[in-house]
Amino acid sequence: MQRQHYAASDLAALGREWIAAWNSHDLERILALYAEDAEMTSDRIQALGLAASGTLRGKDKLRMYWSKAFQLLPNLHFDLIDTYVSPDSVVVFYQNERGAQICEYLRLDANGKIRQGSANHLAH
């Protein structure tokens, strides 16, 4: 399977849109950035007891997870620090409303939708 390659400027723009979508608190706007079969990995998935593996697959499961996140964090807000790109992925480096700095790895599919995401938090 040949991977799609994207321009760095397009990937950086996706990173900015990803931040804007989260800050809008519009779950459907966020989900529109993702492929139907997207998977997301985060230690927060484990902490919420949603999957022992820390990975959820498919938009329905992502919708459930992020809906719960918005209920638990009504003041959720991300401030973009920077974006880092490769030919088919972007890492969005940001700070959340509690001051934590997070790197979100987002790999795209051939249609320009996020097919794999991973929230990476600082190890303590």
**For residue 50, what is the domain's CATH number?**
3.10.450.50
pLDDT-flagged residues of the chain (< 50): 1
Tokens coding 81: 């620090």
pLDDT of residue 41: 97
Contact assessment for residue 115 and residue 89, using Cβ atoms and an 8 Å cutoff: no
Domain count, the chain: 1
pLDDT of residue 5: 87
pLDDT of residue 2: 53
pLDDT of residue 27: 97
**Could you tell me if residue 2 is inside a domain?**
no
Contact assessment for residue 107 and residue 35, using Cβ atoms and an 8 Å cutoff: no
Distance CA 32, CA 1 (A): 24
Contact assessment for residue 107 and residue 89, using Cβ atoms and an 8 Å cutoff: yes
**Could you tell me if residue 86 is inside a domain?**
yes
Tell me the whole-structure pTM to 2 decimals. Answer: 0.93
